[in-house]
Structure 1
Amino acid sequence: MSIGELFIIAVGLSMDAFAVSVCKGLSAGRVRLGHALTAGIWFGGFQALMPFLGWLLGSRFQSFISNVDHWIAFLLLGLIGLNMVRESRSQEEEEVGASFAPKAMLPLAVATSIDALTVGITFAFLQLDQADILWAVSLIGVTTFVLSAIGVKAGGIVGERGKSRAELAGGIVLILMGCKILVEHLGLI
């Protein structure tokens, strides 16, 4: 997997965290640098941790399903992407609150990084070795950190329209990456 592909996946995965960060920025009123750093650390940290855990899980079971791993990667990325697209079209308001305390940030960080866990499983099916997975999760974590910090700062400016557009873009990116993996493994490109 190329660095460009990893970066595209990192940006796609970080869109949920970016969207929640925008909402946190909106609800915070006066946004401080500490708010942006807190969101970046929580979201970036969990976005790095979850794919690593997924890779560990997937690596254990990879030998059992190696004949269909590209279909699993396609389905997982496609379902995550479709869910993000669906959420971007939802009229429901999510209440994220203004608190940046650990009890408020932990559930948000876990919720926005669940999709990264399944991407980590996909990485195992693509047979990324330990050095590659460390590079991949670092890139995902740093990308999410930066975008989350920017999201908090931009919250008051971008507003609710930016949240749904970010989720839509992230979903489309993950769907396209799943299609690319499938097409490559079928030998069509």
Structure 2
Amino acid sequence: MGLVELFILAVGLSMDAFAVSICKGLSLRKIQIKHIVVVGLYFGIFQGGMPFIGYLLGNQFSEKIVSVDHWIAFILLLIIGINMIKESRKDEIDEIENNAENTGLEVKGMLLLAIATSIDALAVGVTFAFLKVNILPAVTFIGITTFVLSSLGVKIGNVFGSKYKSHAELAGGLILIILGTKILLDHTGFLQKLGTHLF
């Protein structure tokens, strides 16, 4: 997986956290730098940590199913992407995200939000094991990307309001579906075969 693909994946994964960060920005009357940093760190650490756990789990059995790994990656990313698109079509983000207004930046509330928004990344970590991704740079990159976008989300939510929440999740879902399809096509050699027939 190249740097461009990793960046696209990182952005797609971070859209849930970005949407929730907008909610946090909405709930904070007077925003401070520490608020932005705290939210960014929670989401960045969990979004980077979950793929690492998934990678460790996937490594245990990746060699046994290497012949179908691209299908597993495609199906996981497709399911995650579809779920994110469904969430974007709801009138409200989700019950746990709606509770963000009441939890402030308390440890318990932020942990719940960070875990809830990073579960998808756990499944992506499993695909990393199948694809033999260099895991430490990958999860670091994902964590930093999520930190930046989540921090930005807090500011956007505080300034512009809630209209970007659903758009963020929709974009994230589409990105993951496209990436999963690309992985499948690359590993099955479909594009090469198509090019051979056309030219």
- Alignment correspondent of 1:40: 40
Alignment partner, residue 59 of structure 2: 59
Aligned counterpart, 1:15: 15
Cα distance between partner residues in 1 of 2:93 and 2:57: 34
What's the CA shift string for 1:10-34, capped at 9, x where partnerless?
A: 0000000000000000011111111
2: CA distance between counterparts of 1:30 and 1:165? 25
Q: Map Cα deviations across residues 81-123 of structure 1 (whole Å, 9 max, x no partner).
A: 0000010001235412251111110010000000000000011
Contact 2:93 2:165 in 1 (8 A): no
Equivalent runs, 1:146-157 vs 2, <5 Å = 146-157=148-159
Counterpart for residue 77 of structure 1: 77
Unaligned runs of 5+ in 1: none
| Corresponding letter in the other structure for 1:123 | F
SS of residue paired to 1:67: helix
CA contact (8 A) 2:50 2:122 kept: yes
Amino acid at match of 1:172: L
Counterpart of 1:171 in structure 2 is 173
- Distance 1:93-1:85 versus aligned 2 partners, 3 A rule: closer
User: 1:138 corresponds to which letter in structure 2?
Assistant: T
Structure 2, unmatched stretches of 5+, are 192-199
Letter in 2 for 1:143: T
| Equivalent residue runs for 1:18-33 within 5 Å | 18-33=18-33
The correspondence for 1:125, drawn from 114, 127, 130, is 130
Equivalent-residue separation in structure 2 for 1:158 and 1:112 (angstroms) = 22
Cα gap change, 1:53/1:93 in structure 2, threshold over 3 Å: closer, same or farther?
closer
Tell me the residue number matched to 1:112.
117
Q: Contact 1:22–1:158 at 8 Å: present in 2 too?
A: no
- 1:33 and 1:188 map into 2 onto residues whose CA distance is 48
TM-score (norm 1): 0.96
| Residue 197 (structure 2) aligns with | none
Q: Bigger radius of gyration, 1 or 2?
A: 2
> How many residue pairs were aligned?
186
Query: Match for residue 97 of structure 1?
Result: 101
TM-score w.r.t. structure 2 length?
0.91
Q: For 1:33 and 1:121, how far apart are their aligned partners in 2?
A: 35
